[in-house]
Amino acid sequence: MINKKKKVMMVTIVMILSLLTGSLVTGMAQPHPTEHPAFTTQPNSQSVFVGQDVIFTVAIGGNPAPALQWQVSIDGGVTWTNIEGQTGALLSLSTVGLNQNGNMFRCLAKNAEAEVLSSAVTLFVNTITNAQRPAILNQPGNSSALVGGSITLSVTAEVADNGTVSYQWFSNTADRNTGGTLINGATSRTFAPPTTREGTTFYYVVVTNTNENVSGVTIASTVSNTARVDINPPDNARTPVITSQPEAETAVLNDRVTLFVIANADDNGSIGYQWFRNEIAVNSGGTPVSGATGNVFVPPTDTVGVIYYYVVVTNTNANASGTRTASVTSHAVAVDVITTPGAPINLDTIVNENQVTLRWDAPENDGGSRIIGYQVSDNIVTFWVDANGLYEHTFDGLTYGREYTFNVRAINEAGPGEGAGIKAETPEKEIIDVSSVYLNRRTLDMLVGNSFDLIVGVSTRNAQNT
């Protein structure tokens, strides 16, 4: 405690400091007063079923802020034990069992001023014989949409016995929640009914609780109210959506190819098709193909060349109150009709002893497809082999003095084309008889590259001089 003398002295010092600094001290900050802990919200006793979770709650005041510690008594409040880790305003107990029935709980609040205990409360844990029926908190509600729109029905349910909740939706033509048709896959708390057809359908959901921990009946169900869903006709026909475009094709002359398109509209209209042909790669300005009114189309392939095709998909909805047709056009795709190439031209041969080189130029007509190679043969070898040059091939090991017919053909994507042939003859093998040539002649004159057989006659005359 501060006595009066000390108080007068402090005021005098403050006033002197104030005069020296030219400022007026109007007051001094005072510390907040300390307060004993005080519970503003006491915990409440709880009654639950086996397997449920429990939460006890308190609210506390005091300065400084009190530290909290929850305690439990298993002997009716005679002795108390701190609960490890439970030092907040909430005490949470998960999946309580029968062994916790009658346990008491309280909260200890402590600061520098004092310690205070909350009210002691009791936990009552009840046994369950049968699974409990789910309680539906929010029923599915009536709804409406245009054809092709979207609707979501939902239900909110809970159970108090810690069982497992499941759902099954049903549809019905009448406004009742019995005798409906089970909807496959509709097993969650939300359900999006189809909106492809106009009309009225009623829906309801069976909510089931399954509890394997009870001693009696393990399954209990609750049926929701019906929800009326009205699907109304659209204002205008919906534009079709192409989900699979036609694709370009290459066909050999007179072979069959197929173009197709996949499209749909979500307003329950009728889908129609019209295919067009065009000389250029655009999907407008083409000529309608007579009779080509399905989603599958077989274009003609009797003429070599490229023709482009596209399809206009139209949705017609006679129930629309506004525009009753809507169309979309596919991509333009090429149908490339090819054939085998013509025969190579300007054939020529170069003969060298028993070797002949065949030369040629590309055919004037490639069949509408790039030439990818050449094959050759002769009248002795009846099968075709790949040429060993781009525009030439050399035949080796031929027979001397024989006439050959050499053939060549071009190949494109459609296959080998027409062959062209040319005749060439290998020279006779040259034989030189030198039996009459004087032995003192040591050389013979020959053309470079020629070969010959040398026949030498040997005589014993004047052998002593040889």
CATH label of the domain that carries residue 333: 2.60.40.10
Same domain? For 294 and 317 the reply is: yes
Instruction: Write down the pLDDT at residue 435.
Output: 53
Determine, yes or no, domain membership for 444: no
Determine, yes or no, domain membership for 162: yes
Same domain? For 206 and 221 the reply is: yes
Same domain? For 118 and 142 the reply is: no
Instruction: Write down the pLDDT at residue 7.
Output: 40
Confirm if 211 and 163 have CB atoms less than 8 A apart: yes
What is the helix (H) or strand (E) element at residue 11, kind and residue range?
A: helix 4-21
Same domain? For 149 and 184 the reply is: yes
Query: What range does the domain containing 13 cover?
Result: 1-29
Query: How would you classify the pairing of strands 227-232 and 143-146?
Result: parallel
Instruction: Write down the pLDDT at residue 51.
Output: 80
Determine, yes or no, domain membership for 445: no
Determine, yes or no, domain membership for 440: no
Determine, yes or no, domain membership for 370: yes
Instruction: Write down the pLDDT at residue 394.
Output: 96
DSSP string, 367-398: TTS---EEEEEESSS-S-EE-SSSSEEEE-SP
State the total domains in the chain.
Answer: 5
Same domain? For 263 and 312 the reply is: yes
Same domain? For 334 and 265 the reply is: yes
Determine, yes or no, domain membership for 375: yes
Instruction: Write down the pLDDT at residue 139.
Output: 97
Report d(CA 69, CA 107) in Å as an integer.
6
Report d(CA 176, CA 204) in Å as an integer.
8
Determine, yes or no, domain membership for 462: no
Residues of the chain falling short of pLDDT 50: 1-29, 437-441, 447-448, 457-466
- Final residue of a domain: which of 123, 154, 187? 123
Instruction: Write down the pLDDT at residue 25.
Output: 41
